[in-house]
Amino acid sequence: MEKLFEISHVTLKGHQLSFKVNGIFVTCDLAKTSDVLAQASAEQVANIMVDPVGVGFHWPALDEDLSVNGILKDLGIALHRLPVAMEEQAELV
């Protein structure tokens, strides 16, 4: 499966989520982004999983998901997906 975004440097401080996506640092307030996360404890928010293909984030104990696209849209940031590898482009032709 192709990677949508390169997500790294994920940190949480309370309800503040910071991460690097395709080389750009982003910070969002999870309490403003999700009603479920706004009502969650710091421990519940800290139990975060990063999707391996770069779709977004998942909180298994809360059954909550946030996409990178949604977070970026909420923040007014336009960022494109990772380019398809050259060998994959050749297969699409």
64-81 mean pLDDT: 88
User: In the chain, where does DSSP find H-type helix?
Assistant: 30-33, 35-38, 42-46, 68-75, 86-92
pTM of the prediction?
A: 0.80
pLDDT computed for residue 1 by the predictor = 61
Domain boundaries, the chain: 7-92
7 has pLDDT over 50: yes
Burial class (CB in 10 A: 0-12, 13-18, 19+), 23: exposed
56-78 mean pLDDT: 93
What CATH number does the domain located at 7-92 have? Answer: 3.30.2020.40
pLDDT computed for residue 83 by the predictor = 57
Nearest to 50 by CA among 90, 10, 17, 93: 10
Buried-state track 62-77, b at ≥16 Cβ within 10 A, e below 16: bebbbebeebbeeeee
For the stretch 22-55, pLDDT in tens is: 889 999 999 999 999 999 998 999 999 999 888 9
